[in-house]
């Protein structure tokens, strides 16, 4: 039985863009003009290893004016009755609207699961809307950008859980690999650093082609691995060169495939050539992984060929400290993919970073931490008045994301915000994962 997922929401929130993202580009016409979609549209969607049917619907309006508008709403209601689950799409830039509330009132009465998805969150825009979405009474919102393909890993987790909820034990037996939720691990780096060699070493077989010349791997290869009882899905990717050196269309497509692998991963392993150590392109790749919110590990390959190892590590740590301060404490593992040395340490680090990436801290513990921070290092003065930090809560994991309520959040300097992030990292051990901190005006919502 095919699982059916309906995408609902106000006009022009990006339903057809998400439909195209799941079913393939150009499946539905997309335009900035509201009301382009009028009928239900069905398509076969896929996300990672998930397969399902997607229903695109017309934008829902509270008071339809004409016959066509009423017919569009009838089509939307039919989609709800036909679906196994609903994604309610909201516009993170516009915030929660009256129509969103009207839509939520309708969906709270249906018997199928409903999940809120905040679209147009590229570049971490609309962060405040993620919290405001709780007003709809449908639970936590997941942030994505359907147009730019951001947040797809979180969307995968939502759809995967919905499918398991609907299909039950039979589906689990037929799809044991999917329902065991393997840890998704991407191997990335510049060309010829040994990504494919590492994959073969992990699998203990020549699964992918390797060679001394750069560019042997052209598209992302996905393979399953059982490592000491834990399930992994590995992505071997094409090497990422500087944009100015990319000329051929095929290489451009390969790089796009690599960036998608990072988006789908839970933890990304950035391979460096130990004989060259971290170059500018390596740091650019690491920054992209952090921006995507993935866990990050740096694996220094060809370690057996390094002469002065202490000097090499000191240079690497110095560059990481200066260039990647937003994810301090990134694990560095020395390996030789060809000889198989350091592989156990690498895989142990991957599972450790994954556990940190998914951690959820209790609100009480966080507010005790905030109280101690304010006592030892209070916020600075602004216009002669002390800035107040009232309350903190973690709104999501993967990556850890926190909201602090403040009297005047826009006046808190970036240096103090960095201090708060670094203190969170040091106190609770968030090594190797990015932390997102949102400052928001308002009182304690639980007071």
Block means of pLDDT (10 residues each) for the chain, 447 residues, are 86 87 60 42 84 80 51 69 89 86 84 89 71 82 88 88 67 39 90 88 72 49 86 84 48 64 91 85 88 93 90 86 76 93 95 93 92 92 83 90 89 92 92 90 59
Check if 4-174 and 363-441 are the same fold.
no
Q: How far is it, in rounded angstroms, from Cα 165 to Cα 159? A: 10
- Cα–Cα distances (Å) from 193 to 213, 238, 259, 351, 436, in that order, read 10, 11, 17, 23, 31
Where helices occur in 266-413 by DSSP H, the ranges are 280-291, 309-323, 343-357, 363-376
The residues with which 401 forms a beta bridge, in sequence order, are 396, 436
Are the beta carbons of 153 and 223 closer than 8 angstroms? no
* pLDDT at site 206: 72
Nearest-5° Cα angle at 223, 2 to 257: 80
Tell me what pLDDT residue 73 has.
66
Report the C-alpha gap between 51 and 44 in whole angstroms.
Answer: 7
Distance CA 244, CA 252 (A): 11
Q: Which fold has domain 363-441?
A: GMP Synthetase; Chain A, domain 3 (3.30.300)
Which of these, 73, 142, 145, lies nearest to 103 by C-alpha position? Answer: 73
Closest CA to 72 of 60, 89, 88, 63: 60
Contact 441, 132 (CB under 8 A): no
Q: What angle do CA 143, 149, 152 make, to 5 degrees?
A: 55
Cβ atoms of residues 330 and 336 within 8 Å: no
Q: Which residues are 273's β-sheet partners?
A: 301
Q: What is the pLDDT of residue 37?
A: 38
CATH among 3.40.50.300, 1.10.3720.10, 1.10.10.10, 3.40.50.10190 for 182-357: 3.40.50.300
For the domain covering 4-174, report its CATH number.
3.40.50.300
* 396 contact partners, CB below 8 Å, separation of at least 6: 130, 140, 142
Q: Is 201 left (phi over 0), alpha (psi -120 to 50) or beta?
A: alpha
In this structure, are residues 103 and 60 in contact, taking their beta carbons and an 8 Å threshold?
A: yes
Structure tokens at 212: 């001394």
Sorted by where each begins, the domain ranges of the chain are 4-174, 182-357, 363-441
Bridge pairing between strands 295-301 and 332-334: parallel
């Amino acid at each position: 039985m095919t699982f059916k997922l309906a995408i609902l929401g106000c006009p022009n929130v990006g339903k057809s863009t998400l439909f195209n993202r799941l079913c393939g580009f150009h499946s539905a016409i997309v335009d900035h003009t509201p009301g382009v979609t009028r009928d239900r549209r069905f398509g076969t969607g896929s996300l990672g290893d998930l397969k399902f049917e997607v229903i695109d619907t017309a934008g829902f309006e509270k008071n339809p004016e004409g016959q066509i508008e009423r017919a569009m709403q009838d089509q939307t209601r039919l989609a709800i009755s036909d679906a196994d689950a609903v994604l309610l799409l909201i516009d993170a830039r516009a915030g929660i609207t009256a129509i969103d509330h009207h839509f939520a009132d309708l969906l709270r009465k249906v018997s199928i699961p409903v999940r809120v998805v905040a679209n147009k969150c590229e570049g971490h825009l609309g962060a405040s809307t993620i919290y405001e979405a709780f007003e709809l009474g449908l639970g936590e919102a997941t942030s994505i950008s359907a147009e730019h393909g951001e947040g797809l890993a979180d969307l995968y987790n939502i759809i995967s859980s919905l499918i398991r909820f609907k299909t039950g034990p039979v589906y689990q037996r037929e799809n044991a690999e999917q329902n065991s939720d393997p840890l998704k691990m991407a191997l990335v780096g510049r060309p010829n650093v040994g990504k494919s060699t590492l994959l073969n070493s992990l699998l203990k077989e020549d699964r992918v082609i390797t060679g001394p010349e750069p560019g042997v791997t052209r598209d992302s290869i996905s393979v399953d691995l059982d490592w000491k009882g834990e399930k992994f899905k590995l992505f071997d990717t094409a090497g990422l060169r500087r944009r100015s050196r990319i000329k051929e269309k095929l290489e451009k497509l390969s790089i796009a495939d690599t960036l998608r692998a990072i988006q789908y991963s839970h933890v990304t392993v950035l391979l460096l050539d130990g004989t060259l150590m971290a170059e500018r392109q390596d740091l650019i790749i690491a920054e992209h992984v952090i921006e995507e919110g993935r866990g990050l590990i740096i694996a220094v390959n060809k370690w057996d060929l390094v002469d002065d190892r202490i000097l090499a590590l000191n240079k690497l740590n110095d560059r990481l400290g200066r260039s990647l301060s937003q994810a301090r404490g990134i694990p560095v593992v020395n390996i030789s993919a060809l000889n198989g040395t350091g592989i156990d340490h690498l895989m142990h680090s991957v599972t450790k970073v994954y556990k940190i990436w998914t951690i959820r801290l209790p609100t009480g513990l966080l507010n005790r931490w905030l109280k101690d921070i304010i006592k030892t290092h209070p916020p600075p003065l602004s216009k002669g008045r002390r800035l107040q930090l009232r309350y903190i809560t973690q709104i999501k994991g993967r990556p850890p994301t926190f909201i602090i309520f403040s009297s005047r959040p826009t006046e808190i300097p970036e240096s103090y915000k960095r201090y708060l992030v670094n203190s969170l990292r040091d106190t609770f051990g968030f090594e190797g994962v990015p932390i997102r901190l949102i400052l928001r005006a308002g009182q304690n919502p639980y007071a």
